C-alpha cells in the first residue's frame, strides 16, 4: 500500500486510543509498517485526546498542518479543531453527536452549531461524512462502541487502508471475547451507514 497518515481526534472516554490501537494492530497483522503516537490531557475529565497513525514506513508519529490524508473525528468540535491537520481534499469521517464539555453543560461556555461545524468541514474537503455514532452504537448494544462504529464507516471508504473484513478479524483477535459480538455489530452499523451515503 502507499504511505498514509491518519489523524484521530476526540475527548476522554470515547475510546479514541482504543481505536488507534486496534488500527495499529490491524496494520501489523497485514504486514504494514506502522508508527503511532498520542496526545492527551485530562482525558478522564473529557479533555482532548488526539492520536496519529502513519502507515507505510514513517519514522516519526508526528503530523503537522496539512499532512493528514484522513481525519477521524470522534466528537464534532474536536473534528473542527483538527481540520488544519488535513491535507486539501483529504477524507473526513466524523461523529455528529456532541459530547458537551462541563463548561457548556453549566452554561459558562457555548458549543458551535452543528451546521457551522459541517460547513467548515465541507469547506476543507468535499469528502466529508458525518454519522450518529452514539445512536448506532446503542443499537449495536452499547454506546461505548461508538468508536468502533466510526472505524466501520472508515472501512466503507475507497480511501480506507483497511477493509471491513480486516477490521472484523482484528476485533475477533484483539478484543476481549465478551465484547467481540457487539463490536462486530458496531463495525457493521458504521459500514452500512457510511455505505448508504453518496460518494
Q: What is the pLDDT of residue 43?
A: 47
Distance CA(126)–CA(90), nearest Å, equals 9
In this prediction, residues 8-26 reach a mean pLDDT of 91
pTM for the model stands at: 0.93
Can you spell out the DSSP letters for 83-131? Answer: GGGEEEEEEEEEE-S----HHHHTTSS----HHHHHHHHHHH-S-EEEE
**pLDDT by residue (tens digit) across 73-113?**
999 999 999 999 999 989 999 999 998 877 777 787 889 99
- For each of the domains in the chain, give its residue range(s) and CATH number, in order of start: 4-194 (3.40.920.10)
**pLDDT by residue (tens digit) across 121-168?**
999 999 999 999 999 999 999 999 999 999 999 999 999 999 999 999
* 20 pLDDT more than 70: yes
In this prediction, residues 56-60 reach a mean pLDDT of 93
Amino acid at each position: 500500500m502507499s504511505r498514509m497518515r491518519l489523524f484521530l481526534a476526540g475527548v476522554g472516554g470515547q475510546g479514541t486510543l482504543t481505536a488507534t490501537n486496534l488500527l495499529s494492530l490491524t496494520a501489523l497483522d497485514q504486514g504494514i509498517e506502522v508508527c503511532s503516537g498520542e496526545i492527551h490531557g485530562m482525558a478522564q475529565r473529557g479533555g482532548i485526546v488526539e492520536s496519529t497513525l502513519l502507515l507505510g514506513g514513517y519514522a516519526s508519529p508526528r503530523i503537522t498542518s496539512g499532512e493528514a490524508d484522513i481525519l477521524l473525528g470522534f466528537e464534532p468540535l474536536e473534528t473542527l479543531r483538527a481540520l488544519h491537520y488535513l491535507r486539501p481534499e483529504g477524507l473526513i469521517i466524523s461523529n455528529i453527536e456532541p459530547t458537551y464539555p462541563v463548561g457548556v453543560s453549566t452554561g459558562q461556555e457555548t458549543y458551535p452549531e452543528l451546521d457551522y461545524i459541517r460547513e467548515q468541514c465541507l469547506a476543507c474537503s468535499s469528502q466529508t461524512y458525518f454519522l450518529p455514532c452514539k445512536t448506532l452504537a446503542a443499537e449495536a448494544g452499547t454506546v461505548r462502541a461508538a468508536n468502533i462504529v466510526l472505524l466501520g464507516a472508515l472501512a466503507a471508504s475507497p480511501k480506507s487502508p483497511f477493509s471491513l473484513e480486516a477490521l472484523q478479524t482484528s476485533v475477533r483477535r484483539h478484543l476481549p471475547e465478551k465484547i467481540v459480538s457487539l463490536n462486530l455489530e458496531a463495525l457493521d452499523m458504521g459500514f452500512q451507514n457510511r455505505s448508504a451515503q453518496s460518494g
